[in-house]
Amino acid sequence: MEDIKNIPEEFSFEKEKEIARSFSKRFQWEMILIGVGQATVWLSLWPLVINGYISLFFGSLIATICACFAYLPSHEAQHGNYSRGNPKRRWIDSFVSHFTLITIMFPHDLMRCTHMKHHAYTNNPEKDPDYDTASAKSLWEVITATQVGIKKYESIAEIFKNDNAFMKSFNKGVIIGMMYRVILLTLVVMFPLETLLLWWLPSKFGIIYLSTFFSWYPHYQADIGRYKDTKFWSHWMPRYLNHSMQLHFVHHLHPGIGHYDEPKAIEALKPFLIAREVPGAEDIPESVKYNPLIKR
Protein backbone atom coordinates (compact mmCIF):
# COMPACT_ATOMS: atom_id res chain seq x y z
CA MET A 1 0.00 0.00 0.00
CA GLU A 2 1.37 3.41 -0.97
CA ASP A 3 1.33 6.11 1.63
CA ILE A 4 1.68 9.84 1.77
CA LYS A 5 4.35 11.11 4.14
CA ASN A 6 3.38 13.17 7.17
CA ILE A 7 -0.11 11.72 7.62
CA PRO A 8 -1.14 12.84 11.13
CA GLU A 9 -1.67 10.00 13.59
CA GLU A 10 -5.37 10.85 13.88
CA PHE A 11 -5.76 9.99 10.16
CA SER A 12 -3.65 6.84 10.20
CA PHE A 13 -4.61 3.78 8.18
CA GLU A 14 -5.41 1.89 11.40
CA LYS A 15 -7.89 4.61 12.45
CA GLU A 16 -9.39 4.59 8.96
CA LYS A 17 -9.85 0.83 9.16
CA GLU A 18 -11.43 1.12 12.60
CA ILE A 19 -14.06 3.55 11.28
CA ALA A 20 -14.65 1.41 8.18
CA ARG A 21 -15.11 -1.66 10.39
CA SER A 22 -17.89 0.08 12.31
CA PHE A 23 -19.84 0.30 9.02
CA SER A 24 -19.08 -3.30 8.09
CA LYS A 25 -21.26 -5.11 10.60
CA ARG A 26 -24.90 -4.53 9.71
CA PHE A 27 -26.87 -7.32 8.04
CA GLN A 28 -27.59 -6.20 4.47
CA TRP A 29 -31.28 -7.10 4.40
CA GLU A 30 -32.15 -4.43 1.78
CA MET A 31 -29.87 -6.08 -0.75
CA ILE A 32 -31.37 -9.51 -0.11
CA LEU A 33 -34.82 -8.02 -0.62
CA ILE A 34 -33.75 -6.38 -3.90
CA GLY A 35 -31.91 -9.47 -5.21
CA VAL A 36 -34.52 -12.07 -4.33
CA GLY A 37 -37.34 -9.62 -5.12
CA GLN A 38 -36.21 -8.71 -8.62
CA ALA A 39 -35.47 -12.33 -9.56
CA THR A 40 -38.90 -13.42 -8.28
CA VAL A 41 -40.63 -10.63 -10.23
CA TRP A 42 -38.58 -11.57 -13.31
CA LEU A 43 -39.49 -15.27 -13.03
CA SER A 44 -43.17 -14.40 -12.56
CA LEU A 45 -43.12 -12.41 -15.82
CA TRP A 46 -42.83 -15.63 -17.83
CA PRO A 47 -46.22 -17.19 -16.91
CA LEU A 48 -47.83 -13.74 -16.89
CA VAL A 49 -46.66 -12.99 -20.45
CA ILE A 50 -47.10 -16.49 -21.85
CA ASN A 51 -50.66 -16.69 -20.51
CA GLY A 52 -51.48 -13.22 -21.80
CA TYR A 53 -52.03 -11.45 -18.46
CA ILE A 54 -49.57 -8.73 -19.41
CA SER A 55 -48.20 -7.69 -22.80
CA LEU A 56 -44.78 -8.85 -23.92
CA PHE A 57 -43.49 -5.29 -24.28
CA PHE A 58 -44.62 -4.31 -20.77
CA GLY A 59 -43.03 -7.52 -19.49
CA SER A 60 -39.84 -6.63 -21.33
CA LEU A 61 -39.76 -3.20 -19.67
CA ILE A 62 -40.16 -4.76 -16.20
CA ALA A 63 -37.52 -7.39 -17.05
CA THR A 64 -35.07 -4.63 -18.05
CA ILE A 65 -35.59 -2.86 -14.72
CA CYS A 66 -35.07 -6.20 -12.94
CA ALA A 67 -31.84 -6.75 -14.91
CA CYS A 68 -30.50 -3.37 -13.80
CA PHE A 69 -31.10 -4.37 -10.16
CA ALA A 70 -29.65 -7.86 -10.55
CA TYR A 71 -25.93 -7.40 -9.99
CA LEU A 72 -25.53 -5.36 -6.81
CA PRO A 73 -27.06 -7.96 -4.44
CA SER A 74 -24.62 -10.49 -5.94
CA HIS A 75 -21.78 -8.02 -5.53
CA GLU A 76 -22.43 -7.84 -1.78
CA ALA A 77 -22.43 -11.65 -1.69
CA GLN A 78 -19.14 -11.82 -3.62
CA HIS A 79 -17.57 -9.85 -0.78
CA GLY A 80 -19.27 -12.05 1.83
CA ASN A 81 -21.23 -9.08 3.16
CA TYR A 82 -24.23 -11.19 4.14
CA SER A 83 -22.36 -13.87 6.06
CA ARG A 84 -19.79 -11.42 7.53
CA GLY A 85 -17.34 -14.27 8.12
CA ASN A 86 -19.89 -16.53 9.81
CA PRO A 87 -19.59 -19.98 8.13
CA LYS A 88 -23.19 -20.82 9.10
CA ARG A 89 -24.43 -17.87 7.06
CA ARG A 90 -22.33 -18.48 3.95
CA TRP A 91 -25.28 -20.14 2.25
CA ILE A 92 -26.98 -16.72 2.19
CA ASP A 93 -24.11 -15.30 0.10
CA SER A 94 -24.31 -18.22 -2.28
CA PHE A 95 -28.11 -18.35 -2.53
CA VAL A 96 -28.69 -14.62 -3.00
CA SER A 97 -25.93 -14.29 -5.59
CA HIS A 98 -26.92 -17.33 -7.66
CA PHE A 99 -30.60 -16.38 -7.55
CA THR A 100 -30.28 -12.68 -8.37
CA LEU A 101 -27.88 -13.30 -11.26
CA ILE A 102 -30.37 -15.49 -13.16
CA THR A 103 -31.85 -12.32 -14.69
CA ILE A 104 -28.55 -11.38 -16.38
CA MET A 105 -27.29 -14.95 -16.92
CA PHE A 106 -24.09 -14.41 -14.96
CA PRO A 107 -22.56 -17.32 -13.01
CA HIS A 108 -21.86 -16.37 -9.38
CA ASP A 109 -18.55 -18.24 -9.11
CA LEU A 110 -17.16 -16.62 -12.26
CA MET A 111 -18.25 -13.18 -11.10
CA ARG A 112 -16.79 -13.67 -7.63
CA CYS A 113 -13.33 -14.84 -8.71
CA THR A 114 -12.96 -12.22 -11.44
CA HIS A 115 -14.26 -9.48 -9.13
CA MET A 116 -11.65 -10.37 -6.52
CA LYS A 117 -8.99 -9.99 -9.22
CA HIS A 118 -10.53 -6.65 -10.19
CA HIS A 119 -10.01 -5.47 -6.60
CA ALA A 120 -6.48 -6.86 -6.47
CA TYR A 121 -5.39 -5.37 -9.80
CA THR A 122 -7.70 -2.40 -10.39
CA ASN A 123 -6.76 -0.53 -13.60
CA ASN A 124 -3.86 -2.87 -14.35
CA PRO A 125 -4.12 -3.27 -18.16
CA GLU A 126 -2.89 -6.88 -18.05
CA LYS A 127 -4.60 -8.24 -14.96
CA ASP A 128 -7.76 -6.28 -14.22
CA PRO A 129 -10.69 -8.26 -15.71
CA ASP A 130 -12.73 -5.03 -15.91
CA TYR A 131 -10.03 -3.03 -17.67
CA ASP A 132 -11.75 -3.41 -21.05
CA THR A 133 -14.79 -1.43 -19.91
CA ALA A 134 -12.94 0.82 -17.47
CA SER A 135 -10.59 2.03 -20.22
CA ALA A 136 -13.27 2.48 -22.90
CA LYS A 137 -13.10 5.88 -24.57
CA SER A 138 -16.82 6.16 -25.25
CA LEU A 139 -20.11 4.59 -24.26
CA TRP A 140 -20.09 2.70 -27.55
CA GLU A 141 -16.75 1.14 -26.62
CA VAL A 142 -18.29 0.09 -23.30
CA ILE A 143 -21.16 -1.54 -25.19
CA THR A 144 -18.86 -3.40 -27.59
CA ALA A 145 -16.64 -4.52 -24.70
CA THR A 146 -19.65 -6.10 -22.98
CA GLN A 147 -20.39 -8.16 -26.09
CA VAL A 148 -17.01 -9.90 -26.35
CA GLY A 149 -18.35 -12.76 -24.23
CA ILE A 150 -16.44 -16.02 -24.02
CA LYS A 151 -13.19 -14.65 -25.55
CA LYS A 152 -12.76 -12.22 -22.68
CA TYR A 153 -12.99 -15.00 -20.12
CA GLU A 154 -10.59 -17.23 -22.06
CA SER A 155 -7.92 -14.55 -21.85
CA ILE A 156 -8.59 -13.98 -18.13
CA ALA A 157 -8.22 -17.72 -17.49
CA GLU A 158 -4.91 -17.69 -19.37
CA ILE A 159 -3.55 -14.92 -17.12
CA PHE A 160 -4.52 -16.63 -13.85
CA LYS A 161 -4.15 -20.27 -14.92
CA ASN A 162 -1.61 -20.96 -12.16
CA ASP A 163 -3.91 -19.68 -9.41
CA ASN A 164 -5.63 -22.90 -8.34
CA ALA A 165 -8.29 -21.30 -6.14
CA PHE A 166 -9.17 -18.88 -8.94
CA MET A 167 -9.35 -21.61 -11.58
CA LYS A 168 -11.50 -23.86 -9.39
CA SER A 169 -14.06 -21.09 -8.98
CA PHE A 170 -13.66 -20.06 -12.63
CA ASN A 171 -14.32 -23.55 -13.99
CA LYS A 172 -17.36 -23.94 -11.75
CA GLY A 173 -18.65 -20.68 -13.18
CA VAL A 174 -18.00 -21.77 -16.75
CA ILE A 175 -20.22 -24.86 -16.24
CA ILE A 176 -23.05 -22.69 -14.89
CA GLY A 177 -22.50 -20.26 -17.78
CA MET A 178 -22.88 -23.13 -20.24
CA MET A 179 -26.05 -24.25 -18.47
CA TYR A 180 -27.48 -20.76 -18.93
CA ARG A 181 -26.65 -20.96 -22.63
CA VAL A 182 -28.37 -24.36 -22.99
CA ILE A 183 -31.48 -23.12 -21.14
CA LEU A 184 -31.57 -19.94 -23.28
CA LEU A 185 -31.27 -21.91 -26.53
CA THR A 186 -33.94 -24.39 -25.40
CA LEU A 187 -36.36 -21.65 -24.36
CA VAL A 188 -35.88 -19.70 -27.58
CA VAL A 189 -37.07 -22.66 -29.63
CA MET A 190 -40.27 -22.89 -27.55
CA PHE A 191 -40.87 -19.18 -26.78
CA PRO A 192 -38.75 -17.18 -29.26
CA LEU A 193 -40.02 -13.65 -28.75
CA GLU A 194 -40.53 -14.10 -25.00
CA THR A 195 -36.94 -15.33 -24.64
CA LEU A 196 -35.67 -12.42 -26.71
CA LEU A 197 -37.62 -9.73 -24.90
CA LEU A 198 -37.82 -11.11 -21.36
CA TRP A 199 -34.33 -12.49 -20.99
CA TRP A 200 -31.78 -11.86 -23.73
CA LEU A 201 -32.43 -8.18 -24.42
CA PRO A 202 -33.03 -7.15 -20.77
CA SER A 203 -29.84 -8.97 -19.75
CA LYS A 204 -27.91 -7.02 -22.40
CA PHE A 205 -29.32 -3.72 -21.12
CA GLY A 206 -28.55 -4.79 -17.56
CA ILE A 207 -24.94 -5.65 -18.40
CA ILE A 208 -24.42 -2.38 -20.29
CA TYR A 209 -25.92 -0.45 -17.35
CA LEU A 210 -23.70 -2.37 -14.98
CA SER A 211 -20.53 -1.85 -17.00
CA THR A 212 -21.25 1.85 -17.50
CA PHE A 213 -22.02 2.80 -13.91
CA PHE A 214 -20.07 0.21 -11.95
CA SER A 215 -16.95 0.05 -14.04
CA TRP A 216 -16.57 2.84 -16.61
CA TYR A 217 -17.56 5.96 -14.68
CA PRO A 218 -15.76 5.08 -11.41
CA HIS A 219 -12.51 3.83 -12.99
CA TYR A 220 -12.16 5.64 -16.32
CA GLN A 221 -8.82 7.47 -16.50
CA ALA A 222 -8.09 6.63 -12.88
CA ASP A 223 -4.60 5.57 -11.85
CA ILE A 224 -3.24 2.49 -10.08
CA GLY A 225 -3.06 2.44 -6.29
CA ARG A 226 -5.26 2.23 -3.23
CA TYR A 227 -6.31 5.91 -3.12
CA LYS A 228 -6.07 6.49 -6.86
CA ASP A 229 -7.74 3.61 -8.69
CA THR A 230 -11.32 4.87 -8.29
CA LYS A 231 -12.59 8.41 -8.68
CA PHE A 232 -15.42 10.56 -7.52
CA TRP A 233 -17.72 11.56 -10.34
CA SER A 234 -20.98 13.34 -10.82
CA HIS A 235 -23.96 12.65 -13.04
CA TRP A 236 -27.27 14.28 -13.85
CA MET A 237 -29.09 11.19 -12.61
CA PRO A 238 -30.34 11.03 -9.03
CA ARG A 239 -27.84 8.76 -7.33
CA TYR A 240 -30.51 6.14 -6.61
CA LEU A 241 -30.77 5.48 -10.35
CA ASN A 242 -27.08 4.72 -10.76
CA HIS A 243 -26.92 2.70 -7.56
CA SER A 244 -24.88 5.46 -5.85
CA MET A 245 -21.82 4.43 -7.79
CA GLN A 246 -20.37 7.91 -7.21
CA LEU A 247 -19.46 6.33 -3.87
CA HIS A 248 -17.65 3.42 -5.49
CA PHE A 249 -14.41 4.95 -4.21
CA VAL A 250 -15.21 3.98 -0.63
CA HIS A 251 -16.10 0.45 -1.75
CA HIS A 252 -12.61 -0.01 -3.20
CA LEU A 253 -11.06 1.23 0.03
CA HIS A 254 -13.19 -0.98 2.28
CA PRO A 255 -15.25 -3.62 0.40
CA GLY A 256 -16.76 -4.88 3.65
CA ILE A 257 -18.83 -1.72 4.11
CA GLY A 258 -22.43 -2.53 3.20
CA HIS A 259 -23.72 -0.69 0.14
CA TYR A 260 -26.44 1.17 2.02
CA ASP A 261 -23.97 2.20 4.73
CA GLU A 262 -21.53 3.76 2.26
CA PRO A 263 -22.96 7.33 2.46
CA LYS A 264 -22.49 7.44 6.24
CA ALA A 265 -19.09 5.79 5.93
CA ILE A 266 -17.83 8.32 3.40
CA GLU A 267 -19.04 11.20 5.56
CA ALA A 268 -17.04 9.74 8.46
CA LEU A 269 -14.00 9.04 6.30
CA LYS A 270 -13.95 12.43 4.56
CA PRO A 271 -11.18 13.91 6.80
CA PHE A 272 -9.03 10.82 6.15
CA LEU A 273 -9.41 11.20 2.38
CA ILE A 274 -8.62 14.92 2.54
CA ALA A 275 -5.51 14.12 4.61
CA ARG A 276 -4.42 11.72 1.87
CA GLU A 277 -5.11 14.36 -0.77
CA VAL A 278 -7.65 12.24 -2.64
CA PRO A 279 -8.92 14.33 -5.60
CA GLY A 280 -12.51 15.39 -5.02
CA ALA A 281 -12.52 14.55 -1.30
CA GLU A 282 -13.02 18.23 -0.35
CA ASP A 283 -16.27 18.21 -2.34
CA ILE A 284 -17.85 15.38 -0.37
CA PRO A 285 -20.93 16.94 1.21
CA GLU A 286 -21.16 16.98 5.02
CA SER A 287 -24.33 14.97 4.60
CA VAL A 288 -24.73 12.73 1.56
CA LYS A 289 -28.33 13.01 0.45
CA TYR A 290 -29.57 13.22 -3.09
CA ASN A 291 -27.77 14.56 -6.14
CA PRO A 292 -25.37 16.05 -7.13
CA LEU A 293 -23.42 13.97 -4.72
CA ILE A 294 -19.91 15.07 -5.43
CA LYS A 295 -19.23 17.96 -7.79
CA ARG A 296 -16.22 16.56 -9.61
Partner 1 sequence: MDKFNEILTNHISNWNMVWFGLIFWGSVINAIAELYLVNNNSIFCYLFGFLLGVVAKIRGTWLWKI
Nearer to partner 1, 86 or 144 (CB): 144
Question: Would you say the C-alpha torsion 237, 268, 260, 76 has a positive or negative sign?
Answer: positive
Nearer to partner 1, 85 or 149 (CB): 149
Angle among Cα 77, 90, 116 to the nearest 5 degrees reads: 40
Least distance to partner 1, CB of residue 144, Å: 5
- Cα 42 from Cα 198, distance rounded (Å): 8
Nearer to partner 1, 143 or 167 (CB): 143
Least distance to partner 1, CB of residue 285, Å: 38
In sequence order, which residues have a C-beta less than 8 Å from that of residue 248 and are 6 or more positions away?
214, 218, 230
Q: Backbone phi, then psi, for 105, in 5-degree steps?
A: 60, 35
Nearer to partner 1, 1 or 189 (CB): 189
Least distance to partner 1, CB of residue 145, Å: 10
Structural element, H or E, at residue 201: helix 201-210
| Cβ atoms < 10 Å from Cβ of 33 | 12
Nearer to partner 1, 19 or 196 (CB): 196
Q: Which residues bind partner 1 (CB under 8 A)?
A: 140-141, 143-144, 147-151, 154, 178, 181, 184-185, 188-189, 192-193, 195-196, 200
**Dihedral in degrees, nearest 10, Cα atoms 126, 70, 205, 200:** 100
**Rg value, the chain, Cα:** 20
Least distance to partner 1, CB of residue 189, Å: 5
Least distance to partner 1, CB of residue 60, Å: 13
Least distance to partner 1, CB of residue 162, Å: 19
- Which amino acid is located at 174 in the chain? V
Nearer to partner 1, 88 or 151 (CB): 151
